[in-house]
Chain A
Amino acid sequence: NAGVTQTPKFRVLKTGQSMTLLCAQDMNHEYMYWYRQDPGMGLRLIHYSVGEGTTAKGEVPDGYNVSRLKKQNFLLGLESAAPSQTSVYFCASGRKYEQYFGPGTRLTVT
């Protein structure tokens, strides 16, 4: 039982490049989330999903897209990376009241 896994763990992008972050969970949770955490700050919700095939915007959705084609996976895409998207990205899955977080992806955009 791996819980929540994130791929990749680290990535460096140049401005304008695109990439996809993968989140996978093996707990059969309906809800999945993507957050970002900037230095010295708390986490901010980017997008979330309440079930397979559904997505919704969170607090800071601009510049990101998501897809939930399979219940166990939640993908976060950056179409044209910007330096302001340098951050640590956390994925979470959960039931109604509890969220379980992955180890994070550290992304640097130069």
Chain B
Amino acid sequence: DAKTTQPPSMDCAEGRAANLPCNHSTISGNEYVYWYRQIHSQGPQYIIHGLKNNETNEMASLIITEDRKSSTLILPHATLRDTAVYYCIVDFTGTASKLTFGTGTRLQVTL
């Protein structure tokens, strides 16, 4: 069974915030939420991760609901270079994160 549900595609105007939702209603207490993206056919790129609290780094913000059943990745000022497939992944991180990638959300940033 899929651990996460994401919309298959989204559009965003350049300069606007891109809000990418992810549903993970079966997440357990020790599982983290990760976000990666894959630009064209390159290797995926780590964006951010979180457990309970909201997180922010130089790339994005991660908002996790209080019940942890969903989250939103926010790219505050999307640019054309942010056009990519975005993957939301839930994983228990023991010694190493063993990620299971679904099909993600294809974000198209337009002028």
Chain B's closest residue to A40 (CB) is B103
Chain A's closest residue to B34 (CB) is A97
Most chain A CB within a 10 A radius of its CB, from B97, B100, B103: B97
| Cα of A30 to Cα of B45 in the assembled complex, Å | 18
Among A14-22, A64-72, A76-84, A99-107, the stretch that binds chain B is: A99-107
User: What distance in Å separates the Cβ of A68 from its nearest Cβ neighbour in chain B?
Assistant: 13
Q: Please judge, given known A-B contacts A42-B102, A43-B101, whether A101 and B96 are in contact too, CB under 8 Å.
A: no
Residues 45-79 of B, flagged 1 when their CB comes within 8 A of A and 0 if not, give 11001000000000000000000000000000000
Q: Are A90 and B43 touching (Cβ within 8 A)?
A: yes
For A35, the chain B residues whose CB sits under 8 A away are: 101
Q: How many residues of B contact A (CB 8 A)?
A: 22
Q: Are B43 and A96 touching (Cβ within 8 A)?
A: no
Q: Are B44 and A90 touching (Cβ within 8 A)?
A: yes
Q: Are B45 and A42 touching (Cβ within 8 A)?
A: no
User: What distance in Å separates the Cβ of B56 from its nearest Cβ neighbour in chain A?
Assistant: 15
Chain B's closest residue to A32 (CB) is B96
Q: Are B44 and A97 touching (Cβ within 8 A)?
A: no
The answer to the question of B80 belonging to the interface, with a C-beta cut-off of 8 Å to chain A, is no
User: What distance in Å separates the Cβ of B9 from its nearest Cβ neighbour in chain A?
Assistant: 13
Q: Are A42 and B104 touching (Cβ within 8 A)?
A: yes
Chain B's closest residue to A49 (CB) is B96
| Cα of A73 to Cα of B43 in the assembled complex, Å | 18
Contact of B96 among A31, A43, A59 (CB under 8 A): A31
User: Chain A residues in contact with chain B, CB under 8 A?
Assistant: 4, 30-31, 33, 35, 40-45, 48, 50, 58-59, 88, 90, 92, 94, 96-104
